[in-house]
Structure 1
């Protein structure tokens, strides 16, 4: 696409990159930085700004491309997952969010130390770091490949240049610059999606009824829900009703307790009630975006299979959007789309790096060296960890490109395997707020045993077996979850809880939502 980009396209791209870099500089000059400012923006952000930041952080370049590809290849079945999640957001807020505002908190895992002990906090922090570091490197690599096919950019150059620019504004401005950049990036993402959809309306003659009719004839709507096979419990299915229910329930609850990427942005809100607003607003903002992206997939399917457009032979469905952008959008719209993709990438990477720094410093460094708290060394550690976090993501992505296809595949699989550890963290938080009987030692061993199981099962039931024998990927984390739910009550019979839990469970939370004053540990009656 390098030959397609006009001077206007390049001007849009350069203006965007200069703008987000400037946000870091401005944030550094306008606000005196200490750890609270650098990591939490002094807890002063407006609720709607926080909602946009959460949206931009969770919306990656892969989402921009893969959702239309899913609709093109398989239809709208998975859209029900994205739309259904909002039904369980109130439950996630009620169960978990209030505990992070009961006292000044920097990370989700501080709660685990209060509820259990410091070892539980540390092991949960390490698991989060591994999940997010591999994820961020994988997102970077996948985005670089997308930019290579769209714009002709060498992946190595994309990773290094975009990575260093993202690292620069994160390094200088901290989370305030990251959140403000996320607001700009959200607007650009909306604009890019709207531009693509409008052009698709034009080339299909604004024939929405014809598009939907054609999609229905080719099983690209919700016809899957009318098929009896969709309701069978088969571990080898790519997707079925039971997996849909599992994901719809699991993701919002999981996000609201153990994903520091989201929790940290919510903690920058001025109050718990503003964080609740931000949470609902984020999901409400996501709904039209998801609908538009799935609509893009359906319009592409109609245009290239019945509406007169022609595709190169053998082009897979997840690359059709890229071909449409290069073939059908007039300048400077290709530049706008490139900027939207860059915005999705940079917001994800910046958010991940910022959350990694917070967890490394607050949950690992300060728990080992509490004497550093409140000293000038805090900012030095935060900046050094920012460099290491961003550098780690860049190096992971570069390794996937430089070393070879076999290693890239292995690392992408590792990303998937580590993602199966999210439910193990979720179980620790779930028992934390629901049970007064579950002890720290029981949860610690549950995280260790459940984590091992969820690392081994994917290898045994997915990567080490023929394709026709593989479990559906979402099922791979189920054994660890079932074990994680069963072990804590059982192990707590041998290691009962002796810790005072005032203000740390739903039953002991004060009416004002705050923790009770510290009291000595005592056995439960």
Structure 2
């Protein structure tokens, strides 16, 4: 599709890139960069900065594309999941977050070595690396869809150009540059969403009641919750009550335990109390943003199905937003939206590369070569790994785009299928804090067995099945999670824990941990 952007639009994009480049250079020069600065910003970031960084990191082009596409295709029911997860955030903080502040920590997986052993730490870190590599591929898959429909960029060009610049500013400025850029990106993302929603209100006559009534009449709001079939237990359902409960509980618990992408941002906070504040603020920012994105999808459905405009044949739900931006927004608003999309993409990729480097260096390289700590060689390793991690992530992204084009699913489903290893990692942390009996050997077997199940199931019950017979994509992680929850207590009867666990479980938590706030 030919780009409709003009000189004013591209000026906005160029200005944004210049600001990010400036922040990267400013973060690099004027301070000594050691590993603590490069990876953790000396644990000196203000809570609101960290909250905005977490929001921008988690808000990718997947969100920008898939959430309006979800509302356009299926309605607003899934909005309840995104907004409702804050209900279980306090439990996630209580169970996990404070353990990461009990000692100077770079990664979540350091806890697993203290609780179990080094092998558990290294295997869990490897699983995280695999998950985030696929996640980065999914981010670029989403970016390719929207940039191709919006500005006519070939998918591989998006990877090469945007990815290379993102890796470069991450390499130069480290996590401080990434976080400061995230703050700017949060503002740009929010401004872009508001601009789109305002324009949709304008072209629909500022009549949201009519829009929502039309959406309700066409099952695009919350009608699903009144359908008795929504409450049945059926693994072929794309979405139902049981998956809602599953996501509401598991989402924040996994985020607060095993997702280094978030944990690393929180660990740059000045202390535990500020990290908690950042966690709540991130969710409170996310809720209205998610709501606006779902409204955008509903307004787009009304605009193109309510006899107000004609959508060309062949435009899918995931591409409608790009088409609307290209044809209905006056300059320089398309430039603002492209900038917001670039912000979402670059923020997530920068965060992913930074967390991949931190996990690989601190959880895999450093335990094998402890003498590197505090030496000039340590920084050379970090920089080389940033380049290598970025190149690997971009390579996986290219393969994901080619692979994803052969699977007829929505973007949400593509990402959901490749997120099934998260629950297995979560179980290692859950038993770590809840049980004093579960041993390292039991967790190692659990990681292997649960991971194998959740890698095999997508192949058997999704990709190998006809479209009408597939399991719902969110069910694909449940079998491995069930195996992972059952195995540790059973295996610990054979191999009980014999390690000292002072301060590492809820039962043995010490006063020093309680007061470390």
SS at structure 2 position matched to 1:302: helix
**Equivalent-residue separation in structure 2 for 1:343 and 1:414 (angstroms):** 22
Equivalent residue number for residue 179 of structure 1: 179
Q: Distance in 1 between matches of 2:401 and 2:16?
A: 26
Deviation at residue 142 of structure 1 after TM alignment: 3.0
The structural deviation recorded for 1:320 is 1.4
Distance 1:3 1:142, change over 3 A: closer
CA distance 1:213–1:228, shift in 2 (3 Å): same
Measure, in 1, the Cα distance between the counterparts of 2:431 and 2:176: 33
Structure 1, residues 429-455: CA drift from partner, whole Å, max 9, x if none? 000000001011111111111111111
Aligned to 1:128: 128
Taking the aligned partners of 1:313 and 1:164, their CA distance within structure 2 comes to: 34
SS of residue in 2 equivalent to 1:258: coil
Any gaps of 5 or more consecutive residues in structure 1? 517-525
Q: Is the 8 A contact 1:138 1:396 kept in 2?
A: no
State the match for 1:221 in structure 2: 221
Q: Which residue of 1 aligns with 2:34?
A: 34
- Counterpart CA distance in 2 for 1:246 and 1:399 is 30
Aligned position for 1:523: none
Distance in 2 between the 1:24 and 1:60 partners?
Answer: 20
The answer to whether the aligner puts 1:76 opposite 2:76 as a matched pair is yes
Cα deviation, residue 497, structure 1: 0.6
- Mapping 1:196-215, distance limit 5 Å: 196-215=196-215
8 Å contact from structure 1 (residues 131, 415) kept in 2: no
Cα root mean square deviation, aligned: 2.0
Q: 1:408 to 1:118 in 2, by over 3 A?
A: farther
Contact 1:438–1:492 under 8 Å retained in 2: yes
Post-superposition Cα deviations, 1:32-76, rounded to whole Å, max 9, x if no partner, equal: 100000000000000000000000000111210111111111111
1:514 and 1:29 map into 2 onto residues whose CA distance is 38
The answer for the alignment partner of 2:232 in structure 1 is 232
Give, in angstroms, the shift of residue 215 of structure 1: 1.2
The residue aligned with 1:389 is: 389
CA shift in 2, pair 1:102/1:157, >3 Å:
same
Instruction: Indicate if the aligned counterparts of 1:216 and 1:223 stay in contact, CA closer than 8 A.
Output: yes
CA distance in 1, matches of 2:515, 2:172: 35
Q: Give the 3-state SS of the residue equivalent to 1:30 in structure 2.
A: coil
Residue 246 to residue 360, structure 1, CA distance change in 2 (3 Å)? same
Aligned to 1:499: 499
For 2:89 and 2:400, the matched residues in 1 are separated by 36
Q: Output aligned runs, 1:6-25, within 5 Å.
A: 6-25=6-25
Structure 1 residue aligned with 2:378:
378
Task: For residues 200-237 of structure 1, give each alpha carbon's deviation from its aligned partner in whole angstroms, at most 9, with x where no partner exists.
Answer: 11111110111111111111111111110000001111
Are 1:400 and 1:408, in contact at CA under 8 Å, matched by a contact in 2?
A: no
Cα distance between partner residues in 2 of 1:433 and 1:134? 28
Q: Structure 2 vs 1, CA of residues 108 and 401 (structure 1 numbering), >3 Å: closer, same or farther?
A: closer
Q: Does the C-alpha gap of structure 1 residues 170 and 497 become closer, same or farther in structure 2, counting only changes over 3 Å?
A: same
Q: Please state if 1:169 is matched with 2:169.
A: yes
1:349 matched to 2:349? The reply is yes
| Separation in structure 2 between the aligned mates of residue 417 and residue 5 of structure 1, nearest angstrom | 35
Partner of 1:255: 255
Q: Which TM-score applies when normalising by structure 2? A: 0.96
> What is the aligned partner in structure 1 of residue 486 from structure 2?
486
1:309-388 alignment runs, 5 A limit: 309-388=309-388
Residue 511 of structure 2 aligns to a residue whose secondary structure is coil
Contact 1:417–1:454 (CA<8 Å) still a contact in 2? no
Give how far 1:22 is off: 1.6
Whether the 8 Å contact between 2:108 and 2:257 is mirrored in structure 1 is yes
Match in the other structure for 1:431: 431
* Displaced runs of 4 or more, over 6 A: 411-415
Report the equivalent of 1:445. 445
Cα deviation code 1:355-401 (max 9, x no counterpart) = 00000000000111111111111100100000011111112223455
| Distance change >3 Å, CA 32–CA 408, structure 1 → 2 | farther
Count of aligned positions: 515
2: distance between equivalents of 1:297 and 1:309? 15
Deviates more, 1:253-262 or 1:212-221: 212-221
Distance (whole Å) between structure 2 residues aligned to residue 187 and residue 414 of structure 1: 28
Separation in structure 2 between the aligned mates of residue 39 and residue 108 of structure 1, nearest angstrom: 14
Q: Which blocks of at least 5 consecutive residues in structure 2 are unaligned?
A: none
1:254 Cα deviation (Å)? 0.5
* CA distance, structure 2, for counterparts of residue 243 and residue 417 of structure 1: 14
Distance 2:307 2:97 in 1: 48
Q: 1:400 to 1:236 in 2, by over 3 A?
A: closer
Give the distance between the partners of 1:118 and 1:512, measured in 2 at CA.
24
CA distance, structure 1, for counterparts of residue 401 and residue 73 of structure 2: 27
Residues in 2 aligned to 1:407 and 1:199: alpha-carbon distance in whole angstroms: 33
* Alignment CA distance shift 1:383-1:318 (3 Å): same
Counterpart CA distance in 1 for 2:290 and 2:403 is: 35
Distance 2:372 2:419 in 1: 32
**Worse-superposed segment, 379-388 or 64-73:** 64-73
Task: State the Cα deviation string for residues 377-429 of structure 1 (Å, max 9, x = none).
Answer: 110010000001111111222345579955999x9999655421110000000
CA–CA separation in structure 2 for the residues paired with 1:199 and 1:231: 37
